[in-house]
Chain A
Amino acid sequence: MTAPGSAPARRRVGRNTLLGWSFLLPNFLGFAVLTMAPVALLFYYAFTTWDIFGGAEWSGLDNARQMIHDSTFWNAVRNTLYYTVFHIPLTLVVSLGLAVLLNKRLRAVAFFRTVAFFPYIASIVAVAQVWNMLFSPGYGPVDALLRAVGVDHPPGWTTSADWSMPAVILVGTWREMGYFMLIFLAGLQTVPAQLYEAARVDGANAWQRLWAVTLPGLRPTTFFVIVMLTINSFKVLDLILVMTNGGPGQSTLVLAQYVYRKGFEENQFGYASAVSVVLFLLCLLVTMAQFAVNRRREA
């Protein structure tokens, strides 16, 4: 046994530290070079004009001024908020409903859980293209079904400026519900069974048990799901890129796609960085507000 502070103990601590760093360093270096440094640089490029070749020229607040007068940017902000405001509650309700339903001892429950999770692991390109075909106004089965049940003028879905965003929100919800259902299922295992028994003894019906036992018990899980959904909604890109490419017109152009367009299609990396910073700040503000509300509720 060596006394703490003695030379062998110091050597052991030193060795352990070195070993720890040797495990940490390869991963951390990758993170620092590929994630941390580009993110830090983004804040610098947001104040420059840069077309990728040559150096970035400092332009102060020019990008911010341009953004204020850029109607396409504001359209993208509106569309991003539109997607977020409808996508979050819809996905929350559907995934929670599925979790409650599939938390029961049903026959083939594992099969149904897999079915609900399957969209999440399917290729986003395949998902978007198949849904596009289902929504096709001329040949798609969705409108054919609506016509069959008496809807004379079914929606144009992704070919209509009014219906393209609802179509994208529906597919986004369908795709993500399985993932959040799993998180809710895990949360449901933490709600003590005695509480349900006590509620039953008190004569609470299923609705009252959900309202008074399940939902309060799921509060930490629900908070996590809302934060994740918020971030996912603000940065939605892949689904929209394949399904509508921001159209028709600008009806589904969101901020992430606007960044992509300005950066990789028009080579305006300075302006694209400035829009990225706005997207980041928007995400940060909303998430911080959610944390503040949650803290107040818990207090």
Chain B
Amino acid sequence: MERSIAAVLGAVTALSLTLAGCGSGDDASGGDGTATLTLAGWSLATTPEFKVLADGFHAANPGVSVELKEYDPKNYDTQMIADLAAGKAPDLYVQKTLKNFYTYQNGKQLLDVSDVASGLGRGANGLSSYQVDGKTFAIPYRQDSWVVYYNRALFDRARVKYPDGSWTWDDYAAAGKRLTEGLKASGSPALGIYQHVWQSTLQGFALAQTPGADLASGDFGFLKPYYTRAVGLQQAGAQVGLGDATTNNLTYQAQFGKQRAAMMTMGTWYIATLLGQQRSGDADKFEWGIAPAPQRDKSTTGASATPVTFADPTGMGINPKIKKARIDTAKKFLAYVGSADAAKALAGIGITPANTDAAAGTIFAIPGVPTDDVSRFAFTRHDTKPENPVGKYTAPLQNILNDLHTAVLSGTEDIDTAIAEAQDRAKNEVLNK
């Protein structure tokens, strides 16, 4: 019996020691001048950008390796917040969504990297999104922009002219209706437009393109024309309704890639996905192009103007709990991440880097990428605003506006009622709390 007790206690002690061992920190700096940085990423098998950056940096700095730590893409921020709070986060981590940047920065979970930012030059887009009180807390490495993707074959079949950069949203809606009618007449089941279920498909454009629109003001009247138009398109049958899209779990990749819609607005990240899916057979093979996002009015359309669109940058910052000896190496990595070399490496796999100008030549040399003038213009020329401002009210206001989005597009509420309700909630639950 005593032997059993000893065995049980021994096992408990061994388990405790093992658990304690798991918690011990390790210094990854080698004595021979080599060092290892750790970097957070997600879905490493299908998101090659982290490995491209790690390998590119290692090639330029053979003494430094960058080890990737994989997180769940859907719960990235929740897991990262937990790891940071527990002191277990990697040396460098990605700001997956800009709306959570405030949480990290305000929670003092990002080192000041202003010195890295000042050395980047003028090519880096999206840097200002990570600046607070004159200091920079993350370095953007990709900066997508929302554009219109269109299927040339379906446009030809419906006898509708390709978008040429002169479209306002009313032109876009009218073309969507003409496409639907033309496609129906030709026996095609495809619709003119696919609008994905995200609130950003309308609210991102409305906020970016409406002069004076300010999320934190609590005045959401700027949303009305965008929602009125979308509801009209749903009612006309020119695009799938939100209800059918959510209940059937429609994906934008299948809707456009399998030619169920002639055009849709989406971020430039979809270029790499579409190319990959056309190669693998997950998407049909057809000719496609991109065009500038439709504009609120004519003033920002045409070849001489700069179209206004939106998208958040994706940046990288340094965990303040990094070992002091590794801070300089981590900053060196960030400088590489924002460099023209990294931009070209990212563009080589179809990703839109923050340094767009440096990468345009590379991306248009990829087989399958449309090289017409309008596509080139759409990719390189735009005034890309953040999807949302960085601030403490952004996350709760977004939740309120997501309720508005589902209520209006499901036909539950008309846009005026929904806006009035959202403004009341914003005032009572968030802004005047």
Binding site for B on A (CB under 8 A): 15, 18-19, 22-23, 25-26, 51-54, 66, 69-72, 129, 132-133, 135-140, 156-161, 245-251, 253, 261, 264-268
What are 22 sample pairs from A and B whose C-beta atoms fall under 8 A apart?
A15-B1, A15-B5, A22-B8, A22-B12, A51-B107, A53-B85, A53-B106, A69-B428, A71-B429, A136-B243, A136-B247, A139-B248, A159-B411, A247-B402, A247-B410, A248-B243, A249-B403, A249-B406, A249-B410, A261-B399, A264-B78, A267-B395
CA of A246 to CA of B403 in the docked complex: distance in angstroms?
Answer: 8
Binding site for A on B (CB under 8 A): 1-2, 4-5, 8-9, 12, 15, 78, 81, 84-85, 103, 106-109, 240-244, 246-249, 395-396, 399, 402-404, 406-407, 410-413, 418, 424-425, 428-429, 433
Q: Contact between B8 and A23 (Cβ–Cβ < 8 Å)?
A: yes
CA of A72 to CA of B399 in the docked complex: distance in angstroms?
Answer: 11
Residues of chain A within 8 A of B2, CB atoms compared: 15
Q: Contact between A71 and B425 (Cβ–Cβ < 8 Å)?
A: yes
Q: Contact between B247 and A248 (Cβ–Cβ < 8 Å)?
A: no
Residues of chain A within 8 A of B246, CB atoms compared: 132, 158-159
Q: Contact between B107 and A52 (Cβ–Cβ < 8 Å)?
A: yes
CA of A129 to CA of B418 in the docked complex: distance in angstroms?
Answer: 27
CA of A108 to CA of B266 in the docked complex: distance in angstroms?
Answer: 54
Query: Can you name 18 extra interface pairs (CB under 8 A) apart from A247-B407, A261-B399?
Result: A15-B5, A19-B1, A52-B85, A70-B428, A71-B425, A129-B249, A133-B249, A136-B248, A137-B244, A138-B244, A158-B246, A159-B247, A159-B411, A160-B410, A161-B407, A245-B406, A246-B403, A250-B407
Contacting A266 at CB < 8 Å: which of B241, B247, B399, B407?
Answer: B399
Q: Contact between A249 and B5 (Cβ–Cβ < 8 Å)?
A: no
Shortest beta-carbon distance from B351 to chain A in Å: 27
Residues of chain B within 8 A of A267, CB atoms compared: 81, 103, 395
Residues of chain A within 8 A of B12, CB atoms compared: 22, 25-26
Give how many A-B residue pairs fall within 8 Å (CB-CB): 123
Q: Contact between A250 and B243 (Cβ–Cβ < 8 Å)?
A: no
Instruction: With CB as the reference atom, state the residue of chain B lying closest to A261.
Output: B399
Instruction: With CB as the reference atom, state the residue of chain A lying closest to B15.
Output: A26
Residues of chain B within 8 A of A137, CB atoms compared: 243-244, 247
Residues of chain A within 8 A of B8, CB atoms compared: 19, 22-23
Q: Is the interface of A mostly helix, strand, loop or mixed?
A: loop
The 10 A-B pairs at the shortest CB distance, nearest first, are namely: A159-B243, A53-B107, A249-B407, A247-B406, A248-B410, A136-B247, A161-B412, A22-B8, A248-B406, A138-B244
With A138-B244, A266-B396 in contact, is A53–B84 under 8 Å at CB? Answer: yes
Instruction: With CB as the reference atom, state the residue of chain A lying closest to B78.
Output: A264
Residues of chain A within 8 A of B81, CB atoms compared: 52-53, 267
Q: Contact between A19 and B5 (Cβ–Cβ < 8 Å)?
A: yes
Residues of chain B within 8 A of A54, CB atoms compared: 107-108
Residues of chain A within 8 A of B244, CB atoms compared: 136-139, 159
Q: Contact between B248 and A133 (Cβ–Cβ < 8 Å)?
A: yes
Instruction: With CB as the reference atom, state the residue of chain A lying closest to B242.
Output: A159
Shortest beta-carbon distance from B78 to chain A in Å: 5
Shortest beta-carbon distance from A10 to chain B in Å: 15
Q: Contact between B403 and A250 (Cβ–Cβ < 8 Å)?
A: yes
CA of A71 to CA of B227 in the docked complex: distance in angstroms?
Answer: 24
Instruction: With CB as the reference atom, state the residue of chain B lying closest to A246.
Output: B403
Shortest beta-carbon distance from A31 to chain B in Å: 15
CA of A119 to CA of B81 in the docked complex: distance in angstroms?
Answer: 35
Q: Contact between B410 and A66 (Cβ–Cβ < 8 Å)?
A: no
Q: Contact between A140 and B247 (Cβ–Cβ < 8 Å)?
A: yes
Residues of chain A within 8 A of B429, CB atoms compared: 70-72
Contacting A251 at CB < 8 Å: which of B108, B399, B412?
Answer: B412
CA of A285 to CA of B4 in the docked complex: distance in angstroms?
Answer: 46
Residues of chain B within 8 A of A156, CB atoms compared: 243, 410-411
Shortest beta-carbon distance from B313 to chain A in Å: 21
CA of A142 to CA of B346 in the docked complex: distance in angstroms?
Answer: 47
Residues of chain A within 8 A of B395, CB atoms compared: 265-267
Shortest beta-carbon distance from A120 to chain B in Å: 23
Instruction: With CB as the reference atom, state the residue of chain B lying closest to A136.
Output: B247
Shortest beta-carbon distance from B395 to chain A in Å: 5
Q: Contact between B249 and A247 (Cβ–Cβ < 8 Å)?
A: no
CA of A132 to CA of B246 in the docked complex: distance in angstroms?
Answer: 8
Q: Contact between B413 and A249 (Cβ–Cβ < 8 Å)?
A: yes
CA of A33 to CA of B426 in the docked complex: distance in angstroms?
Answer: 38
Residues of chain A within 8 A of B107, CB atoms compared: 51-54
Residues of chain B within 8 A of A139, CB atoms compared: 244, 248
Shortest beta-carbon distance from B244 to chain A in Å: 4
Residues of chain B within 8 A of A161, CB atoms compared: 407, 410, 412-413
Q: Contact between A22 and B5 (Cβ–Cβ < 8 Å)?
A: yes
Q: Contact between A265 and B106 (Cβ–Cβ < 8 Å)?
A: no
Residues of chain B within 8 A of A22, CB atoms compared: 5, 8-9, 12
Shortest beta-carbon distance from B88 to chain A in Å: 14
Instruction: With CB as the reference atom, state the residue of chain A lying closest to B407.
Output: A249
Residues of chain A within 8 A of B404, CB atoms compared: 249
Which of A246, A250, A266, A268 has the most chain B CB within a 10 Å cutoff?
Answer: A266
CA of A248 to CA of B410 in the docked complex: distance in angstroms?
Answer: 7
Which of A19, A23, A268 has the most chain B CB within a 10 Å cutoff?
Answer: A19
Which of B247, B404, B418 has the most chain A CB within a 10 Å cutoff?
Answer: B247
CA of A259 to CA of B244 in the docked complex: distance in angstroms?
Answer: 28
Contacting B410 at CB < 8 Å: which of A52, A159, A261, A264?
Answer: A159
CA of A22 to CA of B16 in the docked complex: distance in angstroms?
Answer: 13
Residues of chain A within 8 A of B106, CB atoms compared: 51, 53
Contacting B433 at CB < 8 Å: which of A66, A251, A261?
Answer: A66
CA of A159 to CA of B404 in the docked complex: distance in angstroms?
Answer: 14
Q: Contact between A132 and B1 (Cβ–Cβ < 8 Å)?
A: no
Residues of chain B within 8 A of A160, CB atoms compared: 243, 410-412
